Amino acid sequence: MKTPVNTGLMDRYFLTIQEVSTLIGLSRSTITREEQKGDFPPRQKISQRRVGYQKDLVILWMEGNWSKGG
C-alpha cells in the first residue's frame, strides 16, 4: 500500500520533527520517545545545528516495513 505524502513534502529528502508529527499523527514527545526506544527511525544530522528524519524511512515505518536493523 502506498502512503500518500503531502505534495509539498514530495521533493524533500529530510523532514523536521514537526512535519513528521503532522504526517503520522503522533506528538513530538511520542516520536522522540519511540526513537529512543529504537521503535522509530533515528534523526540524521543535516548540518552543525540541524537534524531531520529521512522521509523514506518514515514512510517505511508508516507502512510497517521499517526495522531497527535496517
pLDDT in tens, 34-62: 999 999 999 999 999 999 999 999 999 99
d(CA 70, CA 49): 26
| pLDDT confidence bin for 9, thresholds 50/70/90 | low
pLDDT of the residue at 11? 77
Domain limits of the chain? 11-62
- Would the pTM count as exceeding 0.85? no
Give the angle subtended at the CA of 16 by the CAs of 44 and 11, to the nearest 5°: 90
Residues 26 and 31: their CA atoms lie apart, in Å, by 7
